Amino acid sequence: MTRVMVVDDHTLVRSGLRRILAGAGITVVAEASSGEAALASLVEANPDVVLMDLMMPGMGGLEAARRARQMLPATAVLMLTVEDDVAFLREAFAAGASGYLIKDAADEELFAAIAAVAAGRQYVHPRLGAALAARPAAAETLAGPGGALSPRECEVLRELALGLTNAEVAERLFLSVRTVENHRAHIFQKLGVSTRADLVRKAVEAGLLRPDLGRSE
């Protein structure tokens, strides 16, 4: 019987997952509302699989996944998130996750993903798997005090530096507005900047934007 820990900052999500998993004969041995809380009880719970939300207050799912794999290398991490961007998928696998599933997936997909990562295999949500195959990874081109930008973050940076709004960037890159907002927050944090003008300068320096194209705010 597969032993699962559920990590999500929403109580209703955790309760719903517990009921769904119980119906499939999967035991939830622990749950946590944050990455910090998950790590505090991880060793004692000793789950086969950690269902990890990507975006949580405090320590995010990526860092929690990285530390969880260091603490219990035999435990698999399955990211369960609303973020349907290939860039997040790549970051999750780089952090040590074995699977990536979108929260609008059917119950059967959740069970299949848990079974796959528990057996030592990788699992990618079918929609993202197709996108991943169609768009090979690009070289990271820009880094700051907070780390290197992902290829998708470089794309978002360029559009923001052109003066586009979050909604306009979302439309051009076929993303949700929320995903663009998350990318924007990560870009500002990684580059250590606070204004659109700083973004334009960084984009120009990295060759992502010609000096005459950006318009600062």
Helix/strand number for the chain, H first, E second? 10, 8
CATH of the domain at 13: 3.40.50.2300
pLDDT at site 96 = 86
Separation between Cα atoms, residue 24 and residue 4, nearest integer Å: 12
Separation between Cα atoms, residue 182 and residue 81, nearest integer Å: 13
Domain boundary at 75, 98, 132, which? Answer: 132
Say whether both 60 and 161 belong to one domain. no
Separation between Cα atoms, residue 16 and residue 12, nearest integer Å: 6
Domain boundary at 132, 163, 183, which? Answer: 132
Q: Would residue 214 count as lying in a domain?
A: no
Say whether both 147 and 171 belong to one domain. yes
Say whether both 61 and 165 belong to one domain. no
Backbone φ and ψ for 147, nearest 5 degrees, come out as 120, 180
**Model pTM greater than 0.75?**
no
Residue where the block lists tokens 């600062």: 216
Say whether both 122 and 148 belong to one domain. no
Number of domains in the chain: 2
Tell me which residue range forms the domain holding 88: 3-132
Q: pLDDT tens, 173-202?
A: 778 899 999 999 999 999 888 887 777 777
pLDDT at site 208 = 60
Say whether both 61 and 166 belong to one domain. no
Say whether both 61 and 152 belong to one domain. no
Q: Would residue 124 count as lying in a domain?
A: yes
Length of the chain: 217
Q: Would residue 138 count as lying in a domain?
A: no
Low-confidence ranges of the chain (pLDDT < 70): 129-141, 204, 206-217
